[in-house]
Amino acid sequence: MDLQLKDRRILITGASSGIGLATATMLAGEGARLALCARDEDRLRETTSELAASTDVFTFSCDVTDRQSVENFVSHAVDSLGGLDGVVCNAGRSLMSAIDQTTDDQIREEFDLKIFGALNVVRAAKKALASSDSGAIVVVNAILSRQPESRLAITAAARAGLLNLSRSLAQDLAADNIRVNSVLLGLVDTGQWQRRYTDSDSALDFDEWSAEIAADRGIGLGRFGTADELAFPITTLLSPRSSYITGASLDVGGGVHRYV
């Protein structure tokens, strides 16, 4: 199926690895033109260098919690690509820490990254997206936003706020014909989990180790997801073929959700 993404201009935050990079790669395969950011631009250019052979790729160093940094990135992206048709708010991480072991500064940083990390991008990109015939925003969030865990209590609270904010943005931006949807991930095999595996000093290989975690977390499919498995629904929601979907949230977690 043609997703009608050829020559669509898509901006992605946190694009140097994991879900962001997988989404950029999938979009490049669909012929989209890309504006990509990460804090480390040298690493970003290295990991996305092959994409430039098949499509236009604009890279920029950006801290999504800094409004001026985001506005500079979006302005350069619009100038480079001639506008924007889609945005993927992907930059983020998880803070694995019990509440009583988390400092106030860590809590503020987590909320700053989750809330302003998306809101700064949406504010900066709104005008360009409103000029598109099919403006779309996809917020990469987590199932954690709907079913908190004690080990990730602060991240869960911040993600719940982001989910609520995303729904409000869908309402507010509908008048500008800008769609806003969320993809809620479960456990995904990314660099963050690879580092946790290394730090664990486990005698198991990664597949065995992650399968044990999947069983402990109640993941029906018994494994972690892959970045490509998240990139597909993100790409689909950016497509003009999804033009009647907004304010929605899609679980991509292998059956881990417990809520009804």
Three-state secondary structure string covering 48-88 = HHHHHHCCCEEEEECCCCCHHHHHHHHHHHHHHHCCCCEEE
Alpha-carbon distances of 95 from 91, 111, 156, 162, rounded to whole Å: 14, 11, 9, 15
Q: 2: which residues sit within 8 A by CB, 6+ positions away?
A: none
Q: Are 256 and 223 in contact (CB under 8 A)?
A: no
Q: What is the pTM of this model?
A: 0.95
| pLDDT the model gives residue 95 | 79
From 139-143, 169-173, 216-220, 239-243, the region with the lowest mean pLDDT: 216-220
Query: Band of the pLDDT at 147, cuts 50, 70, 90?
Result: very high
Q: Show the DSSP H helices in 103-182 as ranges.
A: 104-111, 117-130, 153-173
| Percent share of the chain, pLDDT over 90 | 88
CB count in 10 Å sphere of residue 133: 8
C-alpha span between 52 and 34 (Å, rounded): 9
Q: Give the CA count within 13 Å in the CB-facing half-sphere of 73.
A: 32
| Percent share of the chain, pLDDT over 70 | 100
* Tens digits of residue pLDDT in 151-186: 899 999 999 999 999 999 999 999 999 999 999 999
Alpha-carbon distances of 228 from 112, 124, 214, 231, rounded to whole Å: 27, 28, 18, 5
